[in-house]
Amino acid sequence: MDIPGLPARKAALKLLDAVLRRGETLDQAAQPALQGVRADADRALARALAGEALRWLVDLDALIDSATQQVLPDDAKPRMALRLMLAGWLRLETPPHAVIATGLPLLAGGPRRLAHGVFSTLVKREVTLPDAPTLPAAVLERWGERASAIAAGLAVPPPLDLTLRDPAATAEWAERLGGTSLLPGHVRLARGTAVERLEGFKDGAWWVQDLAASLPARLLGPGEGRRVLDLCAAPGGKTMQLAAARWQVTALDAGAKRLQRMQENLTRTGLSADLVQADALAWEPATAFDAVLLDAPCTATGTCRRHPDVLHRIGPRQIAELAELQAALLERAQRWVGPGGQLVYATCSLERAEGEDQAATVTLTPDPIRSDELPAGLAPSADGTVRTDPAMLPEAGGLDGFFIARWKA
């Protein structure tokens, strides 16, 4: 007999296993894990269950450990299933009887009685989760004094941010879509919105882009026909921003499929850019540019609101490897800025090694970022760089973590 909701739970279990045991991202794991899950609602439920289990993993494990005499290994299937069962009950408000009916079948041929006993004990205790997720110990150590505030910003998945092709139409689109705006050219909508069904999507009036992710391109100002190089350009939000701001954009990325997706989005929005498939560490431009934007490959720990897998699969090795790549890219990028031009460097990371430590190596003249270039409630650091994190702008719905710095030649 088919059990409603069971395919979603099986897929969520595969997602959780892929992240915690194999170190994959949720996005990487999604296609194989969701294969065969036909209903959109079940696919969304699988992602939501896995995401909430990862977001609250430390707290869920503490509850599990409080209700069992034997310590379950981190990757034991009963622990994995219980994480999802508790996430469904405590975060998605699934009734306990439905959680049991869809959770225990995940342990076919295994210790169902153990899982049933642990879950029933916690239900009888009427346990709750804290107001904010507890971060893994290694993350707490890396993020230092801001860690507890950042954790509070992770309690709820983020809203949906849109960047408009025409900033002059901000008020119009905010009203048409029922959203709010924190900057010209920005509209924020409630999470759970089906993007493809929104007015203006097919016409290319906007694209999805977190507010923090939109700041680096904004800091180059209007292009007025000048030439800009967007390094590591995929997924393309920055390229479209620059093209809409009347820059002549050269967008470079190593991935053919990513560039194809960028071209599709440029076509949808009616914008244009010169797309170049190349390795930025081997490519050389014929001439220098008026501006270079390097939003470098990074650990993406700043996106932990929407990608909680980064809390558990990123460690010193990944940070060191990407910092080495960022240093090499920055060394080349600053050489490609023409006289009087600008360089903007950014990463969606909360790690100093990928932000402040990288900026300290640049030999161009600092061009401090001003408060009036940022959304209300954000301010640059004393040195004129910008550091955002999920604890900021809480009343407005928060934003991703980014580091941004700017120089002039």
Beta bridge pairs of residue 345: 294, 405
What is the DSSP pairing of strand 227-231 with strand 274-277? unpaired
Task: Indicate the SS3 state at residue 216.
Answer: helix
User: What letter would DSSP give residue 71?
Assistant: P
Say which amino acid occupies 323.
A
Q: Which of 232, 298, 304, 348 is catalytic?
A: 348
User: What letter would DSSP give residue 374?
Assistant: S
Q: What are phi and psi of 43, to 5 degrees?
A: -65, -45
What is the DSSP pairing of strand 402-408 with strand 365-366? antiparallel
From the list 351, 319, 283, the residue with the least C-alpha distance to 147 is: 351
Residue with tokens 């794991």: 29
**Is the Cβ–Cβ distance between 214 and 186 less than 8 Å?**
yes
Q: Respond yes or no: is residue 348 known to be catalytic.
A: yes
Say which amino acid occupies 380.
P
What is the DSSP pairing of strand 386-388 with strand 402-408? antiparallel
- Residue positions annotated with a catalytic role: 348
